[in-house]
Structure 1
Amino acid sequence: MHSQRGAQHGCRWFMVHRFTTVLKIIIFSQDILLSHQCDGLFH
């Protein structure tokens, strides 16, 4: 029982960690796209 609960907590932490990592990657890629668009506008 105790180990099962610990495993659930680990899974939840892993999901949250993966979710935030994906969000960071999406935001980072969008920043790159926006900066490229700005470079295209200004040059």
Structure 2
Amino acid sequence: MPRDTTNPVTEDREPAVESERGALVAVLLMVILGVAGIFAVS
């Protein structure tokens, strides 16, 4: 196996994994900003 992926089904989904990772980062940023906003208001 040339890649570090062990599941052969997910090897063809590199862009999907990247977009999913980007969406996860965006959600985490929104949660962090929301918590920071709550602390800023209170």
What is the TM-score of this pair, normalised by structure 1? Answer: 0.70
Larger radius of gyration between Structure 1 and Structure 2: 1
Structure number with the bigger relative contact order (C-alpha 8 A, sep ≥ 6) is 2
Aligned position for 1:18: 17
Code of the residue aligned with 1:32 in structure 2: it is: V
Tell me the CA shift for residue 31 of structure 1: 0.2
More helix by share: 1
Report the AA paired with residue 26 of structure 1.
V
User: Counterpart in 2 of 1:34?
Assistant: 33
User: Offset of 1:36 from its aligned partner?
Assistant: 0.2
5+ residue gaps in structure 1? 1-9
Unaligned runs of 5+ in 2: 1-10
Structure 1 stretches of 4+ with a deviation exceeding 6 A read none
Percent of matched pairs sharing the same residue: 3
User: What's the offset of the Cα at 1:22?
Assistant: 0.2
Q: TM-score, normalised by structure 2?
A: 0.71
